[in-house]
Amino acid sequence: MSAMSAMTTMNTAVIDPAFWRGRRVMLTGHTGFKGAWLGLLLHRLGAEVLGFSLPPPTTPSLFDLADVGADLRTVTGDVRDAAALAAAVRDFAPEVLLHMAAQSVVLDSYADPLGTYSTNVMGTANLLEAVRRAGLTRPLALVNVTTDKVYHNQRWLWSYRENEALGGRDPYSNSKACSELVTQSFVASFFPPERRAEHGVAVASARAGNVIGGGDWTPHQLVPAIIAAAQAGQPVALRNPAGVRPWQHVLDCLHGYLGLAERLLREPHRAAGDWNFGPPSDEVVTVAQVAEGVARHWALSPAWTQAPGERPPEEPELRLDCSKAARQLGWRCRLATPQALDWVAQWHLRHQAGEGARRICLDQIDAFLAHLGLEAPR
């Protein structure tokens, strides 16, 4: 029995498809892996979507292979270009804005720290300033997508809650923590909750765990490396096989983002602020276990070897406490980690066999929505 057919169906959604039908949604970074999945999901829900992004960052890319551009309007631009970003926000006048554009690869942040800070910090400031000056006439829900790595990692056994100190040792993690500080400043200075009747803007930050899914070709990332090695019949070389991370399927993560955005428009006084999205702490697994869970679909053993040589510093363990999202939004991961790994492997096995990326994505989106007790609009 496949992972998709094995799921039980119940109404566990934190989104209402009727809310999204015809909703004006702007995405930054929509040509990336997570943005492409979100573009397809929003199209399935009937939203009107504008994407603002640079061209796809990889070749191949899910955005191109799944023809995501056919489902939405694209403005090609860099979030560091304040004027272009401001024009896109002003002209489209979104009701929901999800800010995902980022330099998101830790190893690349060591190679280009200034570019990482420029994109992740000033890009966020440019977006917030664009919203401030846009003259929007309808309420706006703005979700700043950051990362589980924004926390000052104490290297302890406990899971991080939203009220823990921000930090980040590597340039990527630190730049995303800085992005959150910029967001907090703009909220306090220009979008205070007590004056929401005047400015109409509700802001939240979404801190997701390590997101996995089919169609990811991002360099220096674990699952793409595992897939490439497995398809070549080779074990993957791991830098940090004992590392522990909160892995979750991309659709679980996006379900959280959309549920948060929806709640921001419906109940801004309750939804504004910071939110963790990830698996339960007792479901986190090691890097080696991820490699084994994916590679078994190619009957590959051993699944991994230790990468030789020195490696950049990495945090040994990271867990998120997502009880706030569970209790206040009703959100939790619907795919357990083994299921999520199965879905990733099944995506790539089908693609390897010649099936189209768009068909595979839409099949998994429909299966996920059905698992939530929802039926996508047609």
> Is the confidence at residue 252, as pLDDT, over 80?
yes
DSSP alpha helix (H) spans, the chain? 17-20, 33-45, 62-65, 82-92, 106-111, 113-117, 123-133, 171-190, 196-199, 222-231, 250-266, 268-271, 287-295, 323-324, 337-352, 357-371
Q: State phi, psi for 331 to the nearest 5 degrees.
A: -95, 145
Residue 312, Cα to own-chain centre: how many angstroms?
A: 24
Q: Which amino acid is at 95?
A: E
DSSP state of 118: I
Q: What is the mean pLDDT of residues 269-273?
A: 97
Residue ranges of domains in the chain, CATH in brackets = 17-371 (3.40.50.720)
Model pLDDT for residues 54-70, shown as the tens digit of each residue: 999 999 999 999 999 99
Tokens of 289: 């276990």
Please say whether the beta carbons of 95 and 25 come within 8 A: yes
pLDDT of 286: 96
Band of pLDDT at residue 4, cut at 50, 70 and 90:
very low
Query: Of all residues in the chain, what percent carry a pLDDT higher than 90?
Result: 91
The CA–CA distances, whole Å, from 66 to 63, 108, 215, 370, 377 equal 6, 26, 9, 21, 19
How many Cα atoms within 13 Å fall on the side-chain side of residue 360? Answer: 21
> Is the confidence at residue 225, as pLDDT, over 70?
yes
Query: Of all residues in the chain, what percent carry a pLDDT higher than 70?
Result: 96
pLDDT of 283: 86
pLDDT of 50: 98
Model pLDDT for residues 284-331, shown as the tens digit of each residue: 899 999 999 999 999 999 999 999 987 777 788 999 999 999 999 999
Q: Which amino acid is at 93?
A: A
Please say whether the beta carbons of 136 and 200 come within 8 A: yes
The distance in angstroms from the start CA to the end CA of the chain is: 27
Residues 6+ apart with CB under 8 A from 299: none
